[in-house]
Amino acid sequence: MVSIGSKALRRRRRSSMGREGKKSKKPKKGSSTHEYESDTNNNNNSYSSSSSSRIRKQVDPETTKYLSQISNLFESDGVALEERSLICANALEETKGKEFEIATDYILSHTLETILQGCDVDNLCAFLHSSANQFPFIAMDRSGSHVAQTAINSLASHLQYDYDQHTHSLVEEALTLICNVIAANSLDVMCNCYGSHVLRTLLCLCKGVPLDNSGFYLSKSTTALAERLNFKQFSSNKDAFHSGFPILLNSLVSQMFNHATKYIKSLQLDQFSSLVFQTTLRVLAGNDELLLDVIPILLGCKNKNNAEGNLIETAIVPELKNLFKEPGFSHLMEVVLEVSPVALFNELFTKVFRNSLFELSSHQHGNFVVQALISHASDQDLMELIWDELRPNMEGLFQMGRSGVVASLIAACERLHINEHKCCQVLAKTVCLADESSKWIVPRLLFLDSYFNCEDKSSWIWQSGAKMNVMGSLILQSIFRFNSEYIKPFITSITSMDTAHVLEAVKNARGSHVIEAFLCSGAPGKQKRRLVAKLQGHFGEVALHSSGAFTIEKCFTACNLSLRETIVSELLAVQSELSKTKQGSYLLRKLDVDGFAASPDHWRSKQASKESTYKEFYATFGSSDTRSTKNDGFLADTSNNKPNSNNVKEMRKEIDQSLGSSSFLSTDGFNRNPKKAKQKNKKNAEIGGNEDDSSRKKKRSKKEKVESGYDTAGTKAAKTAKKRQRNRDASEASGKKLKTSDE
């Protein structure tokens, strides 16, 4: 049936000529009977008027019927993979000369997308060649833009999964043609709400980066925030899935900016062109030569001058500061600061930002530009100037709701190891009145908005049930990464919180992150255990909460053996409810709650074995900070020691695996299959039936020691081996003496 269908589809053109068929269904409104749709409402520029005059013709009924048959055939899943490619090739032959009409049809465009996804690279490139002249207009249509993006995505797929020299040559030839026609119409395309997406996708393909990588195509605010606050490394050098087409990319960008220079004042304020320029800058990251050409154009410089110190024209500075307050340009300026070469970055600070930081930070859009400036400052001297200018205004920034600037400033001080102690002191004074106890520092930062909106700050109390502040939580997480000597007031504050307040914080996603950050900090283990003890009696309740399981794990890691046993005991009481949740199942395995239920003594010995192993490991490989605090808690997280954090975590994992894979397998097996274990014990009892009771007890004692993990510690194993060797040597010597005496 499939072969007949495919034959019929191949011969449709000949058999249907001159034959009258049934009247085709009336197309849906907006499909193929009205003018070509181009979003020109957002563009008042003269250069964009040319695209709105194009008329879209109606697709002939025969082609519509043919493509509908293909759509029905593909939906039926009755087409083999090898035949699918052949059908797609024949269908693309039918679209020649009608690419624009079909691609911009609301219904038929979906079928064309499916065809482009299923065809081989030769037919795909042939389609792009035949539709090249219409490609910009297809890209600017509501339906056509999806077809254009599908075609580009399909090219990327062939480069990624079917790469060879032939494929690379075909794709490069097709892309060259497409890039030339897009560049010629780049102003229309980039300012169009649909065309903007297509142009960004094309830039990513020319760069050779994954098209679904939002870091190039569109930066998420959460990702940018995580990078600025050191929760995630800056990802400007992302891995490419192929080498890209650098010559083609440089040519496309150069042509785009040649056309854009004349209209740059209008483009600076356009939302969609701003998105295109942001992607352009990201794909050019590292290409300092080209960046030094295009960034001054984006900033409004009229004369090209690549001499250091003269990259930015002084005349544009006042207008540039006003542009920072525009939403579209402020986003673009953030990316400019992200990718700017060092010389340009320093000149921007000196000429544009210096002595204007607080003014810009006060604006709802300008403050994000200042955050980007602080986050990408890589020089301590430059950071010192920024600190001196913003430090006296920290309280004012909080009162205006610009806590993001403060958070970026704290994160930059921690990243560059500058003014860390001063930073903690100023922040503590900002949220703590004169001669007031430091116990309120952490609560007030958790409820940042509530505190600074309170008229009588001295009467402020914990806002039970109120929403905790995102930035306040992030600031506290950054603070707890500082050296423990600098954050003593914050440690005192968090450990002085009431039990009810600690419990409420742990059940809140933002509050729980702060508790976790403290438990992972370099604070003394005694202080950590003091906080954890306040949750005693509530560990099971907290673990059942969506974010509480991770906090319980951190509590377990920071505690001594006694508190860990308390935690596991309370989790055992809610084991059935906890096992039904995703995070609960993980926690039960991680803390070996089943092992504790089966044999508490065995579980304790396992923890003791881990303790001795970790202590020896930290004594040998740990940093000086780790060695000085190892007695506070052997499982204390050393993630605040950044240079060694990754290695330490990997080694911790290896130790856990080695301890869990050898000495404790017998107990796990016993729990999982008690019948086999019983049979095995019975068999052992029969084999050893002739042995006397004392020898059996000795063997059983040795076996229990091995299973309990005592012999897993490196030093104990070495001592035992040496002792056995000495006993063996002594017995051999005595045997020789006896033999001699007998003779």
- Residue owning tokens 């290896």: 654
> Six-digit token pair at 614?
């970790």
User: How many angstroms separate the CA atoms of 351 and 538, rounded?
Assistant: 57
CB 742 within 8 A of CB 734: no
Sign of CA dihedral 184, 188, 191, 196: negative
Could you tell me the CA-to-CA distances from 386 to 330, 423, 430 in Å, in that order?
Answer: 19, 13, 18
Contact (Cβ atoms closer than 8 angstroms) between residue 122 and residue 85: no
Instruction: Give the residue-averaged pLDDT of 183-208.
Output: 94
For the ranges 413-417, 489-493, 610-614, which has the lowest average pLDDT?
610-614
Q: What percentage of the chain carries pLDDT values higher than 70? A: 72
273: region left, alpha or beta (phi > 0 left; psi from -120 to 50 alpha): alpha
Instruction: Give the number of other CB atoms < 10 A from CB of residue 462.
Output: 18
pTM reported for the whole predicted model = 0.75
Rounded CA-CA distance 348/521 in Å is 36
Whether the pLDDT of residue 35 is over 80: the answer is: no
pLDDT beyond 90 at 263? yes
Q: How far is CA 419 from the centre of its chain?
A: 29
The stretch 45-60 carries a mean pLDDT of: 60
Residue 69, burial from CB neighbour count under 10 angstroms (0-12, 13-18, 19+): middle
Q: For residue 718, what are its two tokens?
A: 């070495």
Quick one: pLDDT at residue 84?
A: 85
183-194 pLDDT, tens per residue? 999 999 999 999
Whether 648 shows a pLDDT value over 60: the answer reads no
Q: Give the relative orientation of helices 470-479 and 403-416 as an angle to the nearest 10 degrees.
A: 20
| Region 1-11+57-218+242-260: CATH code | 1.25.10.10
Predicted pLDDT of residue 583: 86
Instruction: Report pLDDT digits (tens) over 94-131.
Output: 899 999 999 999 999 999 999 999 899 999 999 999 99
Which amino acid is residue 184, in one-letter code? A
CA distance 105 to 29: 10
| 3-state secondary structure (DSSP) of residue 377 | coil
Token couple for 69 = 């048959």
Q: Count H helices, E strands: the chain? A: 47, 0
Question: What's the pLDDT tens digit per position in 700-740?
Answer: 444 444 344 434 444 444 455 555 555 555 545 544 443 44
Q: Which two tokens stand for residue 67?
A: 């493509």
Residue 602 pLDDT: 92
pLDDT at 596: 92
Closest Cα partner for 376 from 408, 343, 328, 417? 408
The pLDDT of residue 79 is 72
- Per-residue pLDDT, averaged over 320-338, amounts to 94
As a whole number of angstroms, the distance between CA 517 and CA 714 comes to 32
- Provide CB contacts within 8 A for 522, sequence distance 6+: 483, 484, 625, 629, 640, 641
Please tell me which residue, 235 or 480, carries the higher pLDDT value: 480
pLDDT at 650: 57
Checking if the pLDDT of 577 tops 80, the result is: yes
Residue (of 434, 359, 325, 450) closest to 398 by Cα position: 450
Could you give the residue range(s) of every CATH 1.25.10.10 domain in the chain? Answer: 1-11+57-218+242-260
pLDDT of the residue at 713: 40
Dihedral in degrees, nearest 10, Cα atoms 107, 111, 113, 117: 170
103, two tokens: 């691609």
Token pair 């255990």: residue: 529
- Total Cβ atoms within 10 A of residue 686: 9
565 residue type, one letter: E
What one-letter code names the amino acid at 720?
T
pLDDT tens digits along 517-550:
999 999 999 999 999 999 999 999 999 988 888 9
